Amino acid sequence: MNTSNSEKLFHRAQQVIPGGVNSPVRAFKSVGRTPIFIQKALGSKMWDVDGNEYIDYVGSWGPMILGHAHPAILDAIRTAASDGTSFGAATEREVEMAELICSLMPSVEMVRMVNSGTEATMSAIRLARAFTGKDTIIKFEGCYHGHADSFLIKAGSGAMTLGVPDSPGVPRAIGSATLNARYNDLSSVEKLIDAHQNQIAALIVEPVVGNMGCVPPNKGFLQGLRSLCTRNNIVFILDEVMTGFRVSLGGAQQLYDIKPDLTTMGKIIGGGLPVGAYGGKREIMKLVAPSGPMYQAGTLSGNPLAMAAGIAMLRMLKSDSTIYRSLDEKSAKLEEGIRSIIEKNNLPLTQNRVGSMFTLFFTKEKVIDYDTAKTSDTKKFATYFSSMLDQGVYFAPSQFEAAFMSTSHSELDIERTIDVAEKALMSVFAR
């Protein structure tokens, strides 16, 4: 596969952008390759600057649930852009978006728009501290909630991929106010609560982890967290930046019948444009300025282009009851195809899937948390990734990221992916 134009661009980029990329995992560092530079995308496909075509299972890291460049979303963006790209003032679309989110997620009574998932989680934590008057938070090893200081302690996603468990630049005082529990282990949470009585403001969790690979919650885990938070006056925050409107129309909280105090959102609500949001109980949200004393602001929050794209996206998801069933069926077909390869050849691999989120782990261990995810053979994954990429199938360049199905993936795409995966896996395990 010729990637000479990508290689030239990467060389140029390294002179003016740290590491040559604007987000670390894009560098392909953990898979030992030069990153590909994308020129365009449509439906389930992407094309790089060298003209190579790929079946895409990254989907801009989740938001492209209807595929790339969906006509209705493009039309919404064009219409909004014709009126102006940004005002720094209130617009009707912000109200429409807030009403849509509140109607689809019953736990969300009020919502504030921001510009990214990191802004959403950072603001939710600040709000929880303001509401409770306490400082300490609990997060989970391997869960990634953006790059705010409070979260870069045993973080998943790019930090996990690059082997950076903690980040320089995070003050010790902030780090000491973040406690880490084990995902799917209620006893680890109970011990932290007991050891820090009346100090914990919030517990934040990815209901389905997507940032150490796809890791679903054990039965009763989320319900147990809800009970612990209620009993100990802790604000329970579900980070649905990735799962919101992805695993079901009402997010993971609908799928698992759980009601958080606050929810953070992103990805799909922007229809592919930069966006984030946090929302929840009215009594908590009313503390946000200007209705309350907890200050949070953003000049571009509620950007009209992002709102238009997100409204178009959510309306389509709401209006078509077949979308989530179709996504699950397509994802199941791919999962079953890979499983047949694993079983036929007795390969030491594990698959996890929740709806249209999934990961193939290069370990024979059942992956339920950070420690079991880390048993994966990242060198074998890197070989597999390169083989898939060279044959035109694009997964995330990291063992510790989820993959995503879209409605635009065809039966032919899935069959092609299974065929390519078999060749790639046979090559990996023949070494």
pLDDT above 80 for 172: no
pLDDT above 70 for 155: no
Give strand pairing partners of 138. Answer: 179, 203
pTM of the shown model: 0.94
Query: What would the two tokens of residue 303 be?
Result: 């950007």
pLDDT for the residue numbered 166: 63
Domain boundaries, the chain: 4-69+321-430, 71-319
Model confidence over 25-59: pLDDT tens digits? 899 999 999 999 999 999 999 999 999 999 999 99
Burial class (CB in 10 A: 0-12, 13-18, 19+), 400: buried
Q: What is the mean pLDDT of the chain?
A: 94
Residues marked active site are found at 144, 239, 267
pLDDT for the residue numbered 412: 98
State percent of the chain over pLDDT 90: 90
pLDDT for the residue numbered 354: 98
pLDDT above 60 for 256: yes
Question: What CATH class is the domain 71-319?
Answer: alpha beta
Of the ranges 154-158, 160-164, 427-431, which is most confident?
427-431
First to last CA, the chain: 21
Give strand pairing partners of 237. Answer: 204, 262
pLDDT above 70 for 431: no
Q: Which CATH architecture has domain 4-69+321-430?
A: Alpha-Beta Complex (3.90)
pLDDT above 80 for 154: no
pLDDT above 50 for 163: no
pLDDT above 60 for 15: yes
220 φ/ψ angles, rounded to the nearest 5 degrees? 90, -10
* pLDDT classification of 161: cutoffs 50, 70, 90: very low
How many Å apart are CA 134 and CA 145, to the nearest integer? 20
Q: What is the arrangement of strands in the sheet containing 357-361, beginning at the earlier edge strand?
A: 350-354, 357-361, 403-404
Give strand pairing partners of 278. Answer: 112, 264
pLDDT above 60 for 179: yes
* pLDDT classification of 148: cutoffs 50, 70, 90: confident
Q: Contact at 8 Å (CB) between 44 and 67?
A: yes
Neighbours of 154 (CB within 10 A): 18
Model confidence over 76-118: pLDDT tens digits? 999 999 999 999 999 999 999 999 999 999 899 999 999 999 9
pLDDT for the residue numbered 254: 97
Q: Contact at 8 Å (CB) between 155 and 319?
A: no
Please give the average per-residue pLDDT across 240-265, as a whole number.
Answer: 97
Give strand pairing partners of 359. Answer: 352
Residue 31 CA from chain centroid, whole number: 20
Model confidence over 350-375: pLDDT tens digits? 999 999 999 999 999 999 999 999 99
The answer for residues whose C-beta is within 8 angstroms of residue 145's C-beta and 6 or more apart is 117, 118, 121, 139, 151, 155, 204, 206, 239, 241, 264
* pLDDT classification of 207: cutoffs 50, 70, 90: very high
Model confidence over 305-315: pLDDT tens digits? 999 999 999 99
Helix (H, G, I), strand (E, B) or coil at 355: coil
Residue 280 CA from chain centroid, whole number: 19
